[in-house]
A and B are shown apart, each in its own frame.
Chain A
Amino acid sequence: MEQVIVVDDLHFKYPDGTWALRGLSFTVTRGKKVALMGHNGAGKSTLLWHLNGLFLPQQGEVRIEGRLITSSTEKWVRTRVGLVFQDPDDQVFSATVKEDVAFGPRNLGLPPGEVEKRVRSALAAVGMLGYQNHPPQSLSYGQKKRIAIAGVLAMEPEIILLDEPLAFLDPAAQENLCLLLEELHRQGKSLLVATHDVDFAASWAEEVLILKEGKLLAHGDPELLLNEDMVREAGLRLPIVAQIFRGLLPEGFTLPRDVQGARRILQAFLK
């Protein structure tokens, strides 16, 4: 499997002297759904900004599809890696939805016809096609979030990074977003989602990266999130379903990490 993201010994210190990343190394293979987890200040957002080329490594290196990110390749990187910011009000800045979604494709230098096509297709993908001429301030938070994602989709990146995509969304909007992420996964996109939501990560991700104080604490499948000592060290918690079953299961059963797993255990007991 092709490695689309390779991070090697990445260090980054903010101008105020705070170390955000301290020797981070990991790889992500193409088409994977990866959850990036860690407590506040663990370095999740800083890492995402490096992967989009907004920050350049002070030490170590980042490679996207085999190409090293440097000042000369950062423009190319942004055509391959799309970043959805946590607060859609930071990202959706144009006067109308259509103008905002067209911002990225226009920066790619695409002709007007192609820009129009991509805008329509991206808005259709997030279910916002009828909102083209709406000013963003008239939209709800969830709708703005979808527009922010459409703005990135319109650039047709291969890798999509999302910073806390579920934050402040109501359950219905969260469900819609999860469906959209599934659809993007089906299209073969590589997805890296920074989140605090253990339940979401446990049920959605194929791989989990856990950061602590700028270092990689663990990298593996979502079963990692059932390791109580490790999640506690990372400033996280066990998934809710795992908490319910903790101490109740006989030997031979492992804690479930999502609703489907819990259902399977209950069905086994009922039989």
Chain B
Amino acid sequence: MCKPAAEIEFWQRKEGSCLHRLDPRVKVVALIGFVALVTTLTSLFSLFLGISFLIFLISIARLDTRKVIKRLSWTVAVSGPLVVLLSLVTPGTPWYKLQVGPLVFTFTLEGVRLAVVLLLRLLNALLALCLLTGTTSFSELMLAFRRLYVPSLVVVLVEFTIRYAAVFVQELRRMFLARRARGFRVGRSLLDRATFLTLSQLVGALLLRSLTRSERIYFAMLARGFNGSPVRPEVYPVARLNKEDLLWGGLILAWALILHLLEMGVWEWNKL
């Protein structure tokens, strides 16, 4: 049933899966819909079920678990301050009191719960994003956006950002090396006047180079017949949706909808 993915970029495993083979348009609509629905849930249990479902899909897609965890690792850095801050500023039942000299900090249960809810929503959104980018090549994703009538200008801006981020990083690296080759030492404080001056000149030079490069890119576009009007989405080749696409898309959206419906009335465990 599952065929190997025709083209895989970035970080996902080379083996394909049903989810790799799924039409990118379906994946975009289903996963964005899933995130929109799940991130409005308030019950911890429903949010956990959302995460479990995404982990199930990720395991079907056979994505590299270590890389998924690595991508999510920064949420730990965000969640710590979030829990502390929200449990301090949200009024409610006191849970823990911390005395620092004359100051008394009171953490509330409601605040901790709110922070956990936000964290679980964030995890749902990030896992869905991992699933989307892990099973869809960048070119397929852009093609899907075009076919879904996302404004061409937005798609082109995303493409250019991805394409030229690498070029500017290389340029910055070369400029940095050129400065180091002439005795510039890194690692001094930014407050050091000479270091600050050199780094600000570096940023300024990069900005000017970016401007001249953008001009050359524009002329290169004109030279190949670009006249300012976006290419119609119909021009891009695309396969017709099949039953498997619709089934998977429906399943992903149905799961999110069921969680919502359960939370709206049937669910009784949201006091967890």
- A92 → chain B, closest Cβ, in Å? 8
Answer whether residue A180 sits at the interface, using C-beta atoms and an 8 A cutoff.
Answer: no
Residue of A nearest to B138 (CB): A95
Answer whether residue A40 sits at the interface, using C-beta atoms and an 8 A cutoff.
Answer: no
Cα A133 to Cα B5 in complex, Å, equals 12
Answer whether residue B224 sits at the interface, using C-beta atoms and an 8 A cutoff.
Answer: yes
Q: Please encode chain B, from 103 to 146, with 1 for each CB lying within 8 Å of some chain A CB and 0 for all others.
A: 00000000000000000000000000000000001110010000
* B167 x A137 contact (CB < 8 A): yes
Q: Please encode chain A, from 199 to 230, with 1 for each CB lying within 8 Å of some chain B CB and 0 for all others.
A: 00000000000000000000000000000000
Residue of A nearest to B213 (CB): A90
Cα A95 to Cα B225 in complex, Å, equals 18
- A220 → chain B, closest Cβ, in Å? 29
Selecting from B47-55, B77-85, B157-165, B179-187, the interface stretch reads: B157-165
Selecting from B61-69, B199-207, B231-239, B253-261, the interface stretch reads: B231-239
Chain B residues positioned under 8 Å from A83 (CB to CB): 223
Chain B residues positioned under 8 Å from A85 (CB to CB): 216, 219-220, 223
Residues A63-116 near B (CB distance < 8 A) = 75, 78-79, 82-83, 85, 87, 89-91, 93-96, 98-99, 103-104, 106-108, 112, 115-116
Question: Could you give 16 example pairs across A and B, Cβ below 8 Å?
Answer: A49-B219, A75-B227, A78-B224, A85-B219, A95-B162, A99-B139, A99-B159, A103-B226, A104-B224, A107-B224, A107-B225, A107-B226, A112-B237, A133-B6, A137-B163, A152-B224
Chain A residues positioned under 8 Å from B219 (CB to CB): 49, 54, 85, 90
Cα A82 to Cα B224 in complex, Å, equals 7
Residue of A nearest to B155 (CB): A95
How many chain A residues touch B (Cβ–Cβ < 8 Å)?
Answer: 34
Chain A residues positioned under 8 Å from B138 (CB to CB): 95-96, 135
Cα A135 to Cα B142 in complex, Å, equals 13
Cα A96 to Cα B9 in complex, Å, equals 11
Residue of B nearest to A49 (CB): B219
How many chain B residues touch A (Cβ–Cβ < 8 Å)?
Answer: 30
Most buried by B among A52, A93, A99: A93
Chain B residues positioned under 8 Å from A135 (CB to CB): 9, 138-139, 162-163
- Given A49-B219, A106-B235, A137-B167, A95 and B142 contact (CB-CB distance below 8 Å): yes
Chain A residues positioned under 8 Å from B236 (CB to CB): 112
Residue of B nearest to A104 (CB): B224
Choice from B139, B224, B231, B237 contacting A155 with Cβ under 8 Å: B224
Cα A93 to Cα B213 in complex, Å, equals 11
Q: In the complex, given contacts A93-B163, A94-B159, what are 7 additional A-B residue pairs having Cβ atoms less than 8 angstroms apart?
A: A78-B225, A85-B223, A93-B164, A96-B138, A104-B224, A107-B225, A135-B162
- A149 → chain B, closest Cβ, in Å? 12
Chain B residues positioned under 8 Å from A106 (CB to CB): 231, 235
- Given A95-B163, A104-B225, A112-B236, A90 and B217 contact (CB-CB distance below 8 Å): yes
- B169 → chain A, closest Cβ, in Å? 10
Answer whether residue A151 sits at the interface, using C-beta atoms and an 8 A cutoff.
Answer: yes
Cα A91 to Cα B221 in complex, Å, equals 7
Answer whether residue A142 sits at the interface, using C-beta atoms and an 8 A cutoff.
Answer: no
Chain A residues positioned under 8 Å from B160 (CB to CB): 93
